Amino acid sequence: MKHTKVKDLLNSTTTLQEVNAKGWVRTFRNNQFIALNDGSTINNIQCVVDFENTPEETLKRVTTGAAVSVTGTLVESKGAGQKYEIQVKTLEILGDSDAEKFPMQPKKHSLEFLRENAHLRVRTNAFGAIMRVRSVLSFAVHKYFQEKGFVYVNTPIITGSDAEGAGEMFKVTALPFDNTPRTEDGKVNYKEDFFGKETNLTVSGQLEGETFAMALGQIYTFGPTFRAENSNTSRHLAEFWMIEPEVAFNDLDDNMDLAEDFIQYVIKYALDNCGDDLKFLEGRLLEEEKSKPQADRSEMPLLEKLNFVLENNFKRVSYTEAIDILRDSTPNKKKKFNYIINEWGADLQSEHERYLVEKHFKCPVILFDYPANIKAFYMRLNEDGKTVRAMDILFPGIGEIVGGSEREERYDVLIEKMKALEIDEEELSWYLDTRRFGSATHAGFGLGFERLVLFVTGMTNIRDVIPFPRTPGNAEF
Amino acid sequence: MKHTKVKDLLNSTTTLQEVNAKGWVRTFRNNQFIALNDGSTINNIQCVVDFENTPEETLKRVTTGAAVSVTGTLVESKGAGQKYEIQVKTLEILGDSDAEKFPMQPKKHSLEFLRENAHLRVRTNAFGAIMRVRSVLSFAVHKYFQEKGFVYVNTPIITGSDAEGAGEMFKVTALPFDNTPRTEDGKVNYKEDFFGKETNLTVSGQLEGETFAMALGQIYTFGPTFRAENSNTSRHLAEFWMIEPEVAFNDLDDNMDLAEDFIQYVIKYALDNCGDDLKFLEGRLLEEEKSKPQADRSEMPLLEKLNFVLENNFKRVSYTEAIDILRDSTPNKKKKFNYIINEWGADLQSEHERYLVEKHFKCPVILFDYPANIKAFYMRLNEDGKTVRAMDILFPGIGEIVGGSEREERYDVLIEKMKALEIDEEELSWYLDTRRFGSATHAGFGLGFERLVLFVTGMTNIRDVIPFPRTPGNAEF
């Protein structure tokens, strides 16, 4: 008999069928009630064991974490909390789980303990839910872009180009540290390396993505990116997944429209397709925040917060307006900010971004038209000669979730900027070809996928929304 | 006026509208007919310029590769080859393309030349089509698994585990080659490296994927994987994308069913959604093969070949049967194989796989139950004690496209195998936890995505189906 997924059993329209379920024991109560989970849903199916006619030896082996196969009749449940249950006829232990040794016992574990057991934490309710939500959000990303005719582009992970300047890079090499091949003047001879040159892990697929947008019109990337930065924070990972759409003929306004529409779409998709998981995570968050002082708790329960984002436009504010707001703000005047905002041109710190989003506007904010000298070389210079067509989207509790811009499509202006920043033109000659041949207005952005998952799941540490987090000092598994 | 995509213009149901189109000039004929492409489709829209009333200066700038914006009336075309055309009222040059310098002139380029210009080759018909097909195939992969309730898992790219044995690995490091930190006994001190240990680029997400399958039931990965092997062939890349589903409670038969159903689904999805591109690629292949001797040409045109795969079951053949067939084959008897098959236990070379698929069975073949000692440690041992529940799927023209197995779920058997192969148990302790706690039958496979794209597009070199190929000596862009 083929087994049926727990999710399908719980959604069944008929009862009194003979069914088989396979999964893992979450709990076993009164020597009679197995809460069985197979990962297809956050919900368990209750399996009622006829303990009088089941060998004592078998019952003993029904422990948390054990894999079992149960066959029996699907009936309406008399107990509270579930619609259906299985009246078990045969119970088979597929794989034992020694109660003395299995680390994921049904009790409260610290998130830190769970991180150290990243290969097992997914067997808990919370992490099962998070990983299902993450998966559904990933699909929503693809569905959104594909339905709009975007082409998915896998930009390279190993890159020979190091001029992007988005962050510190990891070296990729097949050269040995001992007896490293050297040139005559004693430098490392990368010609002897696998790719015949120095290579790194990508920090962004944008530049390569632009070359494709200038041929295919609308493209997006969705792949891993890397930062070799020693940032031990709850918002940074050394390896994370990024989504980078790039659209020919889009200007900054189109870019903001796209980003906002996109984010609302994927959140709505998660709400529509992960209701049970999100409800569970909402409860988890409420529970967790009980121990926090009122001021540190979320202003809204999770589902309300997600719906709020769907129903309200993101507030669009220029950098210049933002500086005015910040300069006049109470924490600035009372010198509560670590970095006091005195004048136009200052780079915004995460404390300022959070103030704008969480205290002042109380909704997602799109900041745009930043000073040129705090932004990347490829952003389009405004008529004022001092700001660029950049945008950052800031989310409550998360901070920056999107960074993007209209790109500098004018060859001469771009070259001048590169010269000023001493960026090697030769190295980026292929990128400049987009401006040499058939250049056009275009724009795009990058969205850190894990920050989106953080927001949607209500988790607070980015290490808890990626299967196997990579951070300084941690590359287990 | 908002511009309309060429694809939508060509699919329009009404004419005589005022429309705006933006894109790149493919050709400009008789100072009058612009073939305009914006990447949304392989098809161009013809834009008829009123050359008598257009400044000579502007007409001169309408060169191959130039970006232009045209506004005019969408009318039924009088010319052959297109349903609609635009009668241009205003023509604006957005970005020039110097005819003396733009490398992608409308003539035949060698594939090698195009590879060196990977950032521009996507502006050709063939590479535009390939990249659109690749994108649609990617989406089909996600759609197939998500609709079946699989959870997408991003297994780590940087891995601290080097025991998988699937191939040579690239080192990932933030340590310098000069003044490399050393331990007291002179070894490289990886404790000083970013992750505090030696790390590499993943060769497979399978082992991590298994830990998730034993919690979530059905999972799949789809991400980049790496091989630091000096394979300069038309079938190997140093960086490629792999799809790895893993399913709890599946045995080898279920695994074969899943792989076959999956491959047929994604091919059908491409046929249903990339008709124009595949038709173009079929024509391209026919053209290319004209110069080849009859024996080297494809037996079927591309679309017929794809439909053949949909309509015919994959032939399932045990390794033992395959050896019998090969031993008795003409090329074996006439010693035409480079590796003559004499006895059971021999590893199959690509010449043997191709013989089975292309000459003997003339259809996709699933080989299963391989000798244990030529397969990986985690594959389930059969009752015969000498074969394992492995499977490879072989495709005509491609060779191996899938490798998979039922996994050894028995802790004791797995440990014994690891000991025999001197695989470090401590290192893989987390993996062994899946067998310690609630172990169960499970199975999965890996499909090299680029090989699938090769098959579907009819291309013959794997470097032509990935945006920026990474191979020995090549990491440009």
Choose, out of A154, A226, A442, the residue to mutate when testing the contact with B (most B CBs < 10 Å): A154
Within a domain: B469? no
Structure letter (DSSP) for residue A427:
T
pLDDT digits (tens, 9 = 90+) for A52-69: 999 999 999 999 999 999
Identify the residue whose tokens are 């745009």.
Answer: A368
User: Residue A244: what pLDDT?
Assistant: 98
Smallest Cα distance from B55 to chain A, Å = 20
Same structural domain for residues A242 and A277? Answer: yes
Residues of B in contact with A203 (CB under 8 A): none
Residues of A in contact with B142 (CB under 8 A): 138-139, 142
Tokens found for residue B448: 């090299």
> Is the distance from CB of A55 to CB of A40 less than 8 angstroms?
no
Within a domain: A184? no
Smallest Cα distance from B84 to chain A, Å = 21
Same structural domain for residues B373 and B232? Answer: yes
For residue B39, the chain A residue with the least C-alpha distance is A216
Identify the residue whose tokens are 């003559």.
Answer: B340
Smallest Cα distance from B204 to chain A, Å = 12
Q: For residues A286 and A308, give the distance between their C-alpha atoms in angstroms, rounded to a whole number.
A: 18
pLDDT digits (tens, 9 = 90+) for A301-332: 999 999 999 999 999 999 999 999 999 999 99
Within a domain: B1? no
DSSP β-bridge partners for residue B23: B68
For residue B169, the chain A residue with the least C-alpha distance is A174
Within a domain: A370? yes
Residues 6+ apart with CB under 8 A from A375: A388, A390, A405
Does B156 contact A477 at a Cβ distance shorter than 8 Å?
Answer: yes
> Which amino acid, residue A190?
Y
Residues of A in contact with B173 (CB under 8 A): 170-171, 173
CATH of the domain at B281: 3.30.930.10
At residue A21, the 3 state secondary structure works out as strand
The pair phi, psi for residue A406, each rounded to 5°, is -80, 140
Does B67 contact A22 at a Cβ distance shorter than 8 Å?
Answer: no
Within a domain: A448? yes
Give the Å distances, CA to CA, from B317 to B190, B255, B256, B339, B393.
47, 15, 12, 21, 10
Does B170 contact A156 at a Cβ distance shorter than 8 Å?
Answer: no
User: Residue B360: what pLDDT?
Assistant: 96
User: Residue A393: what pLDDT?
Assistant: 98
Mean pLDDT estimate for chain A: 95
Picking from A154, A437, A439, the nearest residue to B241 by CB comes out as: A154
Smallest Cα distance from A472 to chain B, Å = 5
Does A216 contact B175 at a Cβ distance shorter than 8 Å?
Answer: no
Does B156 contact A467 at a Cβ distance shorter than 8 Å?
Answer: yes
Residues of B in contact with A38 (CB under 8 A): 217, 248
Interface pTM, i.e. ipTM:
0.97
Same structural domain for residues A149 and A96? Answer: no
User: Residue B363: what pLDDT?
Assistant: 93
Q: For residues A153 and B453, give the distance between their C-alpha atoms in angstroms, rounded to a whole number.
A: 13
Choose, out of A37, A45, A143, A212, the residue to mutate when testing the contact with B (most B CBs < 10 Å): A212
Picking from A25, A173, A468, the nearest residue to B156 by CB comes out as: A468
Within a domain: A198? no
Picking from B139, B195, B241, the nearest residue to A473 by CB comes out as: B195
Same structural domain for residues A144 and A10? Answer: no
Using the Cα atoms of residue B262, residue B143, residue B212 and residue A277 in order, give the sign of their dihedral. negative
User: Residue A165: what pLDDT?
Assistant: 64
> Which amino acid, residue A14?
T
Does A467 contact B154 at a Cβ distance shorter than 8 Å?
Answer: yes
Q: Where are the alpha helices (DSSP H) in A319-400?
A: 319-327, 330-333, 350-354
Smallest Cα distance from B416 to chain A, Å = 18
Same structural domain for residues B230 and B290? Answer: yes
User: B103, B138, B157 — which closes off a domain?
Assistant: B103
**Predicted model pTM:** 0.97
User: A72, A103, A134 — which closes off a domain?
Assistant: A103
Count of domains observed in chain B: 2
Does A211 contact B241 at a Cβ distance shorter than 8 Å?
Answer: no
User: Residue B138: what pLDDT?
Assistant: 98
Same structural domain for residues A92 and A237? Answer: no
Does B101 contact A197 at a Cβ distance shorter than 8 Å?
Answer: no
User: B103, B136, B160 — which closes off a domain?
Assistant: B103
Average pLDDT, 10 consecutive residues per value, chain A (477 residues): 95 90 97 97 97 94 98 90 92 97 92 96 97 98 98 97 75 95 96 96 96 98 96 94 98 98 98 98 95 87 96 96 97 96 94 94 96 96 98 93 98 97 93 98 98 97 98 95
Same structural domain for residues A254 and A282? Answer: yes
User: Residue A391: what pLDDT?
Assistant: 98
Per-residue tens of pLDDT for chain B, all 477 residues: 899 999 999 999 888 789 999 999 999 999 999 999 999 999 999 999 999 999 999 999 999 999 999 999 999 988 777 889 999 999 999 999 999 999 999 888 999 999 999 999 999 999 999 999 999 999 999 999 999 999 999 999 999 876 556 678 999 999 999 999 999 999 999 999 999 999 999 999 999 999 999 999 999 999 999 999 998 999 999 999 999 999 999 999 999 999 999 999 999 999 999 999 999 999 999 999 998 998 888 889 999 999 999 999 999 999 999 999 999 999 999 999 999 999 999 999 999 999 999 999 999 999 999 999 999 999 999 999 999 999 999 999 889 999 999 999 999 999 999 999 999 999 999 999 999 999 999 999 999 999 999 999 999 999 999 999 999 999 999
Does B40 contact A194 at a Cβ distance shorter than 8 Å?
Answer: no
Same structural domain for residues A37 and A129? Answer: no
Does B216 contact A157 at a Cβ distance shorter than 8 Å?
Answer: no
CATH of the domain at A33: 2.40.50.140
User: Residue B250: what pLDDT?
Assistant: 98
User: Residue B80: what pLDDT?
Assistant: 78
Within a domain: A421? yes
Choose, out of B1, B123, B151, the residue to mutate when testing the contact with A (most A CBs < 10 Å): B151
Same structural domain for residues B345 and B262? Answer: yes
Same structural domain for residues A127 and A40? Answer: no
pLDDT digits (tens, 9 = 90+) for A154-170: 999 999 876 566 678 99
Does A241 contact B154 at a Cβ distance shorter than 8 Å?
Answer: yes
Residues of A in contact with B152 (CB under 8 A): 134-135, 138-139
User: Residue A236: what pLDDT?
Assistant: 95
Note down the domain range covering B344.
Answer: 123-168+203-464
Same structural domain for residues A150 and A14? Answer: no
At residue A77, the 3 state secondary structure works out as coil
Beta-carbon pairs below 8 A across chains A and B: 333
Same structural domain for residues B327 and B433? Answer: yes
